[in-house]
């Protein structure tokens, strides 16, 4: 199927790119592939959204977009100890941490609204069609093996590889340009980074695991537009760092969640269990008591910052949004930068096609990003994450805040700190004591399986496992004896299970049907033996409004 542009991923970056392309050239045939069962089904974010890119793309968005319903009305930052909280004075926070003029709501709902706008312009959106393979031109044609499109996942393949009665082969989409908007740790993005050495001159990307719930709370406790961020306890007890959020959104709901930086050393740490502990803090419990949990989900978040952004353009296409890593970690925001990157890529593609170029390297897109407000914003915070990672939550926060203040004044540290991968930072289990996490009470805290149920996750069971072990012998030879089987703890969805431990023959069972597509296993596995690939289309979570 020949098209002008194929976009992989119907998140904010991909949809912004599609809309901008049609704004620039209505004749372009633009196709968006989405692996979820519908647009928004796999979208998860806090979310407090800076509308800067939305204002540029669709200036009238406030007239019809649900996001406009809840502007931020108050902004609080709490430092937690085990029993108490300390509200950080606003004067101590760098100006970029303010949320004045921002909005809180569902990013999934925003994407559905953007999809409607895109389709009204003539964009074709195909939910339930994951892109499983990148297609390349034959180098003998003189195109240097440029990307020429993607192929979608075959449907109706049994677990043993045989074809079922309803088998349907994937379709090939041949495009002049291909934009990857897969989100954090995209599997096609990983392959293109390797093929074209896109990250040869950048720091490795690092990640946090964000776990989120939606709660209906008591009406008298609900304050639409109230935004709270926390740091400190409980991760301060684990030599790890991260923080929580609690956003009062529309319809009497709060979105709450917890982000754990995946560079933690202790393999006994469980981000899911730390989130459950956090909800029992008196300040958080006060908001939730009398309420009811209605949704759950999890997703990896880019935390590498500006120094981890790779080369963006390759022959035949580009990386946009979180596939490239434009998250502003201190602000806990990436939607506006993702959308802007999609818009800049669309402008470069439209100009290239108008100039008679195709499957070319879009160097002008790289240049445009580096001269945009994306670069200005991310440069100001480029040392924040590594300072906290190196010096801990208390001292690191002070140093990061000082550096951000100075950069606001065009000063700051005269160098850029680097990263090690999250997998490399994991240390041996014999250096630590196992952590005895409290049992869930079924009121504020819950187990993984009941949580996964609320995510609406579903996969066709008779299909090849989409969580591949490059070497099946490594888990019992390496992960269990050296790291005490960390898969069972870092996964927030009970996908990985160690059995046969009491018999002295531990082996790893992968319950792939539970997978919420967070990508944590692909990131945190110490020997980097797990690879996440696409399952059948429509599989995974079905988030209603996350």
Active-site annotation, residues: 45, 299, 335, 491, 515, 518, 521
Longest dimension (CA), the chain: 69
Beta bridge partners of 362: none
Answer for the pair 307, 416: CB distance below 8 angstroms, yes or no: yes
Q: Phi and psi for 199 in degrees, rounded to 5? A: -105, 20
| CA distance readout (Å), 157 to 153, 160, 170 | 10, 8, 11
Going by C-alpha positions, the residue among 482, 454, 86 that lies closest to residue 295 is 454
Do strands 172-180 and 155-157 pair parallel, antiparallel, or not at all (unpaired)? unpaired
Measure the CA–CA gap between 117 and 133, rounded to whole angstroms. Answer: 28
Q: Please give the Cα distance from 181 to 302 (Å, whole number).
A: 13
The three-state secondary structure class of 147 is: strand
Q: Give the other-Cβ count within 10 Å of 102's Cβ.
A: 21
The C-alpha atoms of residue 461 and residue 458 are separated, in whole angstroms, by 9
Which of these, 152, 147, 207, lies nearest to 183 by C-alpha position?
Answer: 207
User: Per residue in 158-179, is it b (16+ CB within 10 Å) or e — as a string?
Assistant: eeeeeeeeeeeebeebbbbbbb
Helices marked H in 355-392:
363-370, 373-380, 384-391
3-state SS assignment for residue 103: strand
**Number of continuous H segments (helices) and E segments (strands) in the chain:** 17, 23
Torsion of CA 12, 15, 19, 25, to 10 degrees: 130
Measured between alpha carbons, how far is 171 from 193 in angstroms, rounded to an integer?
A: 24
Tokens at residue 316, please?
């035949």
């Amino acid at each position: 199927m020949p098209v002008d542009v194929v976009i992989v991923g119907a998140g904010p970056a991909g949809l912004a790119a599609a809309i901008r392309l049609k704004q620039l050239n209505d004749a372009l045939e633009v196709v968006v592939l989405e692996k979820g069962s519908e647009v928004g089904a796999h979208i998860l974010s806090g979310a407090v959204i800076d509308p800067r890119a939305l204002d540029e793309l669709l200036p009238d968005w406030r007239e019809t977009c649900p996001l406009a319903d809840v502007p931020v009305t108050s902004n609080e930052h709490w430092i937690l100890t085990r029993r108490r909280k300390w509200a950080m004075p606003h004067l101590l926070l760098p100006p970029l941490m303010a949320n004045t003029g921002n909005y809180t709501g569902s990013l999934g709902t925003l994407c559905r609204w953007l999809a409607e706008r895109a389709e009204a312009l003539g964009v074709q959106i195909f939910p339930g069609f994951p892109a499983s393979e990148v297609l390349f031109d034959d180098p003998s044609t003189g195109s240097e093996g440029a990307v020429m499109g993607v192929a979608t996942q075959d449907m109706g393949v049994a677990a043993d590889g045989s074809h079922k009665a309803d088998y349907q082969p994937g379709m090939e989409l041949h495009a002049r340009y291909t934009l990857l908007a897969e989100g954090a740790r995209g599997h096609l993005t990983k392959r293109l980074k390797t093929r074209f050495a896109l990250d040869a001159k950048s720091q490795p990307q690092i990640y946090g695991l964000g776990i989120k719930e939606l709660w209906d709370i008591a009406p008298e406790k609900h304050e639409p537009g109230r935004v709270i961020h926390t740091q400190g306890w409980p991760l301060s007890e684990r030599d790890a760092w991260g923080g929580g959020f609690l956003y009062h959104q529309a319809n009497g709901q709060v979105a709450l969640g917890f982000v754990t930086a995946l560079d933690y050393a202790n393999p006994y740490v469980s981000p899911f269990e730390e989130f459950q502990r956090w909800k029992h803090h008196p300040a958080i419990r006060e908001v939730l008591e009398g309420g009811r949990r209605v949704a759950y989900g999890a997703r990896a978040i880019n935390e590498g910052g500006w120094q981890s952004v790779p080369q963006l353009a390759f022959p035949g296409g580009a990386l946009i949004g979180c596939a490239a890593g434009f998250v502003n970690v201190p602000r806990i925001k990436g939607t506006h930068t993702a959308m802007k990157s999609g818009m800049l890529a669309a402008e470069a593609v439209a100009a290239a096609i108008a100039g008679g170029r195709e499957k070319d390297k879009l160097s002008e897109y790289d240049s445009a990003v580096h001269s945009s407000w994306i670069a200005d914003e991310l440069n100001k915070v480029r040392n924040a994450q590594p300072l906290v990672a190196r010096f801990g939550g208390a001292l690191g926060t002070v140093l990061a805040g000082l550096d951000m203040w100075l950069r606001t004044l065009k000063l700051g540290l005269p160098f850029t700190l680097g990263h090690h991968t999250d997998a490399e930072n994991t240390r041996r289990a014999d250096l630590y004591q196992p952590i005895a996490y409290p049992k869930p009470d079924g009121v504020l805290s819950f187990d993984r399986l009941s949580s996964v149920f609320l995510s609406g996750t579903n996969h066709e069971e008779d299909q090849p496992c989409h969580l591949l072990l490059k070497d099946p012998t490594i888990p019992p030879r390496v992960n269990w004896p050296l790291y005490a089987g960390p898969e069972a703890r870092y996964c927030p969805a009970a996908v990985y299970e160690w059995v046969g431990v009491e018999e002295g023959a531990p082996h790893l069972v992968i319950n792939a049907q539970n997978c919420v597509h967070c990508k944590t296993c692909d990131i945190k596995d110490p020997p980097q033996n797990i690879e996440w690939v696409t399952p059948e289309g429509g599989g995974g979570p079905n988030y209603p409004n996350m």
